[in-house]
Amino acid sequence: MGVLRKLYKEKNKIAVDIPPSILPDKYKIPKPTRMLYPRILERNTYVYGGRGPTPEESISAAIAAAKRGRYRVGIWVPRRWVEDYGFPVDLKLVAVYDPAKKRWIEITEKPTLSLVEYGAGRWRAQFPVDIVRKYNMYALPTRHPMYRDYAMRARLQWTSYTRVLRPEKPKIYHFHNIYEPDWNTEKTLWTWYIPDEITKDEGLEKAFEIEERPEARRRLISPVPDAQLHYNDTEDVVEVQFIIPRVWDKTVGSMVGKAYRNMVVRNYTLKEEVKMEEAGTPSDFLIEIRATLITTPPREFYEGHGYHMPIVAPEGEMAALNITCYNIMRYFFMQTAERRGHLYNPLLSHKFAEKVEETIGYEDNVEVDFGEVEKERFGYVIKYIRIVNRSSKRRGKDWVYTTDEIDRKIKQMGGIVDENGFVWRGL
């Protein structure tokens, strides 16, 4: 079964820790792993086959001389770097420090450098000439009296193989997409830093904004969302969905301007042959049973009462809202038979099934404008029954029942209505 974990903010990112308790051993037990690891290292530039500026030259004169290609430029590194970090599989120049402007400049081309042995205790790599000229690079011998003024440092991305203690990385499934978590060395667990497009689209950022308001602090329930996490061993993924506390869900939806709706509808109408064969049978007959769940973040799974299943399954699989819609029919229309002395549901009888046509409709996380649902209940299954039977005796009579009345009747007849409004079998 799954677990709930509060979201939190870290370094301006909304994150959730994946509890090791739900993961197989391969995802939670660290083991030595050989992997490519990129580091950013800094080194002073170095002159090849020429000389640096003389003490008599100004900085501007040195730059002008470099543009004319007076010397080649690169870096040298001590042999211990290779011993400590491993020989670089990929070495790129990513930035240089401009001493005249006193700032780092990104090298957009990020050229790849080749490291070669240079004497007994060091290695060196030359920068491409076109890069040297474009970015006004120059290098100075350390003996130069104004070395600190002239010095141009380089930042290198040094990517090499290394061995680290880390478990195998799990995959995260959320709303039809796959994501990857980061290993949190301090906590020794996986942390998912939720992408900004998700936090904005699903109202997670707005919920954190509400938390800072004085009125939110006075409430017993925090607006900070939960992540519901479940390991699906069939697909080998961690399923994650977000739940905003019900008392705040509609408020967040109003700020985002939209919501997601899941719905199952069962309709019963008379078969055409019944209308034609039975004289006096009313043609205007309908029983409509509807179960709807509206939330600001999309809700794909139900977790609770010993179940983990989809909210909606259009293909007829087991799903929480499908079961709920059926159980509304099962318990609301249940009655005590006058002569038989037991509970009886005419809609489940063979006689009823012979006369009616059943159709089932679905909405699976349909995005709707907030204005369309602003008067509806958020985070709780909304129930609706409409009965149309325009016979000669009760012409024009429609019966409509809504959530509270339906819930009361279901409970009276032995059904279970859980805290989120889903209906489960009781008696």
pLDDT tens for the 427 residues of the chain, in order: 789 999 999 989 999 999 999 999 999 988 877 778 899 999 988 776 655 556 566 666 666 665 665 567 888 899 999 888 889 999 999 999 887 778 899 999 999 999 998 877 889 999 998 888 788 776 555 445 455 566 678 999 999 988 777 899 999 999 999 999 999 988 999 999 999 999 999 999 999 999 888 777 777 889 999 999 999 999 999 999 999 999 999 999 999 999 999 999 999 998 877 766 665 555 678 999 999 999 999 999 999 877 899 999 987 678 999 999 999 999 999 987 665 667 888 888 888 888 899 999 999 999 999 999 999 999 999 999 999 986 645 555 689 999 999 999 999 999 999 999 999 998 6
Domain residue spans in the chain? 3-30+167-240, 36-163, 258-424
What is the SS3 assignment for the chain?
A: CCEEEECEEECCEEEEEECHHHCCHHHCCCEEEEEEEEEEEEEEEEEECCCCCCCCCCHHHHHHHHHCCCCEEEEEEEHHHHHHHCCCCEEEEEEEEECCCCEEEECCCCCECCCEECCCCEEEEECCHHHHHHCCCCCCCCCCCCHHHHCCEEEEEEEEEEEEEECCCCCEEECCEEECCEEECCCCEEEEECCHHHHHHCCHHHHHHHHCCHHHHHCCCCCCCEEEEEEECCCCEEEEEEECCHHHHHHHHHHHCEEEEEEEEEEEEECHHHHHHCCCCCCCEEEEEEEEEEECCCCCEEEECCEEEECCCCCCCCCHHHHHHHHHHHHHCCEECCCCCCEECHHHCHHHHHHEEEEEEEEEEEEEEHHHHCCCCCCCCEEEEEEEECCCCCCCCEEEEEHHHHHHHHHHCCCEECCCCCEECCC
